[in-house]
Amino acid sequence: MISIFAGNNGQIKYRLITRNDAELFRIDPKGKITTLVQFDREKRDIYEFIAVAEDSGSPSLSSAINVKIIVADENDNYPKFEQQIFTFSLLENSYINKHLIAKINVSDSDQGENSKIEYKLASLTGECSLQALTPSNFLFPNKIANLNPAINNFWIDKTSGELNARDTLDREQMNRYCFAVIAMDQGVPSLNSSALLIIDILDQNDNVPKITSNMTVYLQSSLAGSHVTTITAKDLDDKENAELSFRIVQQSDLFKIDERQGFIYLARKLETSDYHTHLLTINVSDNGKPSLFVTGQLRIFIDAATINRGNAQDYLSFMDKLKTVEVNGFGPDTLLFCGILTFIFLIAVIISLFTAVILCRRFQDTSKCNNFIAYFIKFYS
């Protein structure tokens, strides 16, 4: 409110001279200026016009002053993130306390203390989604207790918004972190906004493969192509860093290995000189760069008793499968029926040949007899 006094002589009239703001202000007969609308400082913060006071004399005398109105800021704007979801990818083992991960940028259209931002990180009790960004799901780290200690691996500068890792990160322990980043202004009352922060930890080839299979084997078969054993291994890394290749270090004409599956088999049939204990060095390597590998000693026992026992077991297994074979609905009853039909067919062939021999005797020419028998053989074959 601005009051303008023009003295006590005469009756004073007041008016405003504005360019485009006549509908925004008014002045009453006592010189009090009031507003007609609600102002938004973020759209316009300064208004200027002229206030005139004139008497009722003749001639009329007047005076004027320039009026400047500055709209004070009210904390009516929430901090605004550049985006609602921030996603960053970090290579494991690479970030230590002094390394900057990212800078979170927030704007606030207010002024002064109302626009000063303070940043905080909070764990989420719900799922990693925008729907979980509610204050009831926020857990702030503290020294006494924290239900999600993973948040302690990171810290954010409360004034600059720079995000840092406190220590090196191990993907094999945790490959994704999800937090809420909260921006609060310093107005009264304070206003705040939140965004989702996702940090994916990328794999580094830092784990050596580990052989998990039994490395002592008793060979059961002497035939070429027979399965000896399968080497199994695991690698805690990811993608190509966990893809494994198998090979036999020393040259062997008796044993071969599938380099992708680790399947070891006999390359040829066993000979007498092969009946002893064989020691193979197996190399298991990953496809990382640089590649990591492990070697192990595979002991293969070959003796006649084990081979014969294995062959006998193979035969019994085959006979057992033959008894219970069922292919596309054909069971033992069907096989019996087929056997009977085959038996009848053979009897018919024998009778036909016997008849052919008797009839052949009627021929005086031996060549005609032979041709007659050959015809029957060709017919049934």
Tell whether 198 and 84 lie within a shared domain. yes
Tell whether 109 and 222 lie within a shared domain. no
Tell whether 25 and 120 lie within a shared domain. no
Q: How far apart are CA 154 and CA 120, in angstroms?
A: 11
* Cβ burial 290-313 (10 Å sphere, 16+ → b, else e): eebebeeebebebeeeebeebeee
Tell whether 280 and 174 lie within a shared domain. no
The pLDDT score that the predictor gives to residue 363 is 54
Q: How far apart are CA 282 and CA 284, in angstroms?
A: 7
Tell whether 148 and 112 lie within a shared domain. yes
- Where do we find the tokens 């009848």? 344
| Residue 355 DSSP label | H
Per-residue pLDDT of the chain (381 residues; tens, 9 = 90+): 344 444 555 688 898 888 787 788 888 988 898 988 888 888 888 888 888 998 888 888 889 999 998 888 788 889 999 999 999 988 888 766 567 788 999 999 888 899 999 999 988 887 888 888 888 777 776 543 454 567 788 889 999 999 988 878 889 989 999 989 999 999 999 999 999 999 999 999 999 999 999 999 999 888 999 999 999 999 999 999 999 999 999 988 999 999 999 999 999 999 989 999 999 999 999 999 999 999 999 999 998 877 766 555 554 454 455 444 444 455 556 666 667 777 777 776 677 666 666 666 655 555 556 665 565 555 555
pLDDT tens profile 173-215: 899 999 899 999 999 999 999 999 999 999 999 999 999 999 9
For 285, what's the count of Cα atoms within 13 Å in the CB-facing half-sphere? 11
In a domain, 132, yes or no: yes
Query: Where does a domain end: 153, 169, 202?
Result: 202
Query: Where does a domain end: 261, 279, 309?
Result: 309
In a domain, 314, yes or no: no
Tell whether 43 and 85 lie within a shared domain. no
Is there a contact between 163 and 100 (Cβ–Cβ < 8 Å)?
A: yes
Query: Where does a domain end: 70, 88, 114?
Result: 70
In a domain, 364, yes or no: yes
In a domain, 327, yes or no: no
**Chain centroid to CA 98:** 28
Q: How far apart are CA 164 and CA 181, in angstroms?
A: 13
In a domain, 49, yes or no: yes
The pLDDT score that the predictor gives to residue 194 is 92
Q: How far apart are CA 260 and CA 244, in angstroms?
A: 7
- Look up residue 364 and give its two tokens: 């005086």
Q: What is the CATH number of the domain that holds 254?
A: 2.60.40.60
pLDDT tens profile 254-312: 999 999 999 999 999 999 899 999 999 999 999 999 999 999 999 999 988 777 665 55
Tell whether 217 and 154 lie within a shared domain. no
Coil, strand, or helix at residue 254?
Answer: coil
Tell whether 146 and 222 lie within a shared domain. no
The pLDDT score that the predictor gives to residue 184 is 94
- What is this structure's pTM? 0.61
Tell whether 117 and 231 lie within a shared domain. no
The pLDDT score that the predictor gives to residue 367 is 59
Tell whether 163 and 254 lie within a shared domain. no
In a domain, 323, yes or no: no
Coil, strand, or helix at residue 201?
Answer: strand
Q: How far apart are CA 251 and CA 255, in angstroms?
A: 9
* Cβ burial 331-355 (10 Å sphere, 16+ → b, else e): eeeeeeeeeeeeeeeeeeeeeeeee
Give 72-75's long-range contacts (Cβ < 8 A, gap of 24+): 72/41, 73/41, 73/110, 73/111, 73/112, 73/114, 74/41, 74/110, 74/114, 75/110, 75/114, 75/185, 75/187, 75/188, 75/189, 75/190, 75/191
Note down the domain range covering 41: 13-70
In a domain, 322, yes or no: no
In a domain, 328, yes or no: no
Tell whether 266 and 298 lie within a shared domain. yes
The strand pairing partners of 70, in sequence order, are 46
Tell whether 108 and 190 lie within a shared domain. yes
Number of domains in the chain: 4
